[in-house]
Chain A
Amino acid sequence: MAEYTLKVRRYQPESGEAAYWEEFNVELDPSLSVLDGLLQAKDRDDGSLSVRCSCRAAICGSCGMKINGQSGLGCKTQIGEAQELAEKKASVSPNANGETPTIVVEPMGNMPVIKDLITDMESTHWTKIRRVTPWLLPHGEPPEREYVVEPESMIDITQSMACIQCGACVSSCLSMEADPDFIGPAALAKAYRFVGDPRDAETKERLHDLANDPHGIYDCTHCFSCIDACPKGVAPMDQIMRLRRKAGEEGIEDVNNGDNHVHAFVNMIEKKGTNDEALLIQETYAPGVKGKLKPTKAAIKGLVESLPTVLRAIKTGKARSLPKLIPGVHPKLPDGAQDEVKAIYQHAEEHREEFNIYITGEEDVEPEPDEPTDATLTAEAASAAESEES
């Protein structure tokens, strides 16, 4: 047993007063959850303290909230750990009054608050979910038995099926803060569940739909907040990136040119084993332009528009300065490092597996017998270098 103080952002809509902070003192085992703490306060002190909750086991998705500023589930955040985090935060930026740090609990972000920790998910989260046509659209009549599909495909989309619609990712989404119309991490992860499902017959239409929407898949800024927030390992951003990759494969033009950028980078690693910054920008906007006389207007526009970024990068030391920045002129890295990188690339290509926790298990899983070790990688690098020499 230990004592904790929960500092709760409260809002009582019928009081006519603005939102306010209230502290509740609770006493419970550190291994119990922040939700357990809130329920103790509700049971003992104030029954009007309102929070949606049901399963207490991170499966129903009711208790999305912000704890010490971090979006997640109240039931899945141990109160002892929340206290440690609060103390750590306080040590970085000490409270002016020298008060002991408290666990700060707030309603989720990017949603209107109804009462205390209860938010209006219908007008935000669920409206966005419905935006992605969230049901299977198979072609024709179903077969007599089950659809026969690759076993991996079902495991693959099970990662997005693991979503419990708690809204933590939506709450944490920085893109949505800037653009409230962004379809958002939860709904796009849900979209991947259909795009990745071999039984769905509308893959193309779905991808065009999500790519052409200005608030669609290219609105994500890759900030990883949703991955941090998700209590179920759905990794919504990864699902968005898969959608982008599939869109690229479908020949859909990425308005932000991100897809070309990825291809340019990948090609360069494959061929050179290192990043050639100067070439990267050119290859992103005008792939293969060297030797061609007329790059497209769009490419020239893109290249010109990139100039300020390039200059800033040089100024801050993020890119090498002239004359090393002449496209195509790239110094060799020492000790055959580039060959090693190329070998790693080759290995990754040959063992192409989506990073999916359902397939590979978590990071601590011991390698399968055929998985590479450092030794085999080195050997492969050596043989790759040899073949290049010959």
Chain B
Amino acid sequence: MLGARQYPTAPSDFGAIESAPVPTHDVLVIGAGLAGQRAALAAAEEGVSVGIVSKVHPVRSHSNAAQGGINAALNPGDSWESHAFDTIKGSDYLSDQDAVEIMCREAPEEILHLEHLGVTFHRNEEGKLGTRAFGGASAARTYYVADITGQAIMHVLYEQLMKHADSVARYEEWFSTALALDEQGECCGVVTRNIADGSMELFRAKSVILACGGNGQVWKPTTNALICTGDGIAMAYRVGAKLMDMEMIQYHPTTLAGKGFLITEGARGEGAHLLNAKGERFMERYAPNKMELASRDVVSRAEQTEINEGRGFPDGTVALDITVVPKKRVHEALREIVLVGKDFAGVDITREPIHIKPGNHYTMGGIKTDVDGRTDIPGLYSAGETACVSVHGGNRLGANSLLDTLIFGRRSGADAAARAKRTEGSRPSKAVLEAEQATIDAISAREKGSGRRVSEIKFDLGTAMDAKVAVFRDEAGIQEALETVRRLKVEAETAYIDDKGSIFNQDILGAIELGYMLDNAECTCVAALERKESRGAQYRTDFPERNDEEWLKHIDLQLNDDGPEISYSEVTITQWEPQERTY
């Protein structure tokens, strides 16, 4: 009666390698946030064997933090073209328009699918799906669950993973350290560490999907969780996959000073004002039409300008005034923010303005993929913040990230399953497993005091990146950050850890994550240095104008012996020619 209707149970019969059995799946998903879970469910629906590996329990994933909502042109009066145009304009014309079209066309169906699975979306008075306004959008097309939209969707997807436990194997608290390629250069497996007991395992798969989230921890402070260390981006980069748009790092306009906690854009969507220390609604000067609801890069720059020119508060902030929003509405739609204000800033946002500033928030760039999540490496897929399709280009619109994870998660899952069905699958060499084990043994063997502590290096990295590769950038600053990153890379080679055990050794994971973070940082610095113009989140004070003639192109990075090697790829333009961007 209460039994689950299962997907057809999938065979995983392509067997053991050599004598030792290894966990084997047709499709293996790394990361269990929204993109990963959606990919796993989509692959399972195709009837293949699926495994999902995550370094934290899936519901701990950072998709939780997406507060405001998810965009879709679902209302009869709205159109996918309008959503697409807003997205492309928001991206400062760096997004690939074919990918944006797919995302915006498929958005309504995805929202309805989620609703049917059980997401408790906000309803209007007629009991139908209701919307709220969001930044950079020409219509109110953001669907939401109070201000816990990401959490609500992710927990519903996890319900589905539990329901389909027969067809999706969950590896919760398994940490991935490296991808395995076969002799043809195709991805055929992943090396992981079972955090519970420290054992190393080589998983075998016909398709691997990297959905590991972004790299916010490279910056300090950041709105991102401690787990957002760019693992997927670094793992792909290390086996030669191309990265794209790595210079495009979003600073969110409303984060708590010092701690980096996020105040949802939904607050401004509900009508909250931004004020400088003089009490002026300064957005009038920067975006007279959209005011507080201009694109995030525009609002963040406006705030930073106010702060830099002395019109901010002494703590380097401006104020977000939510008291103009009716109290009942605040409690109904912004409850999480009421709690964040109370618990983390000691401010009752229904009674007084709260001090905020721009803070690191989102990785627009990532592993270069096509619209089906395929990377340059056969068998390797990527989706969500780890990937760069590119739908966000130079600046992501609010409430488009959840959409990105779901649409391209689903598409990757489906294509990865299709590939698994038509390929034999090859045998990963044990050499990669042995190499990873050796790396870990070497870290453990470093004696206390032989180098710096991992935590110190992380602190230096975050501070340098936030100082030099943030809202405003210039050549000297980026160069300085790059030199810091390269010095820290050398120091990381001798950094020591305290925990020598096997069970839940978080110390060793921290050392591996530091390596991932440094690779991410180096790539961002190199790309930011290369792009000699201002577009989206990349604002170069030494090149303050957008330069379509020379720079309407993506910067791609690929690992060579000396680090990231630069190449370029075209921006796909379908029907929206670049225009001047004002809000």
Contacts and interface: CB of A to CB of B under 8 A. Distances in A.
A366 B159 CA distance: 38
Nearest to A29: B258
A135 B227 contact: no
Interface stretch (B60-68, B393-401, B433-441, B545-553): B60-68
A13 B59 CA distance: 26
B507 interface: yes
Contact of B145 (A161, A165, A197): A161
Interface in A48-65: 48, 50, 52-62
A82 B510 CA distance: 28
Given A60-B64, A115-B503, A146 B335 contact: no
A42 B506 CA distance: 10
A158 B162 contact: no
Main secondary structure of the interface of A (DSSP, over half): loop
Contacts of B129: 146
Contacts of A194: 118
A149 B127 contact: yes
A261 interface: no
B128 A43 contact: no
Interface in B486-518: 497-499, 501-507, 510
A46 interface: yes
A202 B4 CA distance: 12
Interface in B1-22: 1-2, 4
Interface stretch (A175-183, A327-335, A353-361, A376-384): A353-361
A106 B498 CA distance: 21
Interface range for B:
35 or more
Interface string A349-390: 000000001111110011010000000000000000000000
Contacts of A134: 159, 162
Contact of B2 (A61, A133, A147, A148): A133
Interface string A151-186: 100110110011111000000000000000000000
Contacts of A365: 327-328, 331
Interface of A: 12-14, 31, 42-44, 46-48, 50, 52-62, 76, 78, 114-115, 118, 121-122, 129-130, 133-138, 142-143, 145-151, 154-155, 157-158, 161-165, 194, 197, 199-200, 202, 205-206, 209, 233, 357-362, 365-366, 368
Given A60-B61, A358-B331, 18 more contacts: A14-B503, A42-B455, A44-B455, A48-B499, A54-B226, A58-B340, A59-B65, A59-B151, A62-B56, A136-B159, A137-B2, A146-B128, A150-B127, A163-B155, A199-B118, A359-B332, A362-B338, A365-B331
30 contacts: A47-B454, A52-B60, A54-B226, A57-B65, A59-B336, A60-B61, A114-B503, A118-B504, A130-B162, A134-B162, A136-B156, A146-B112, A147-B116, A150-B127, A151-B122, A151-B124, A154-B121, A154-B122, A158-B120, A163-B155, A164-B64, A202-B2, A206-B2, A209-B2, A357-B331, A358-B332, A359-B332, A361-B328, A365-B331, A366-B327
Interface of B: 1-2, 4, 56-57, 59-62, 64-65, 112, 115-118, 120-130, 145-146, 148, 151-152, 155-156, 159-160, 162-163, 172, 196, 225-227, 259, 261-262, 327-328, 330-332, 335-336, 338-340, 343-344, 346, 453-456, 497-499, 501-507, 510
Enumerate the 10 nearest inter-chain pairs by beta-carbon distance, A residue then B residue, closest first. A361-B331, A136-B118, A43-B455, A47-B498, A48-B499, A151-B123, A47-B507, A142-B116, A135-B159, A54-B225
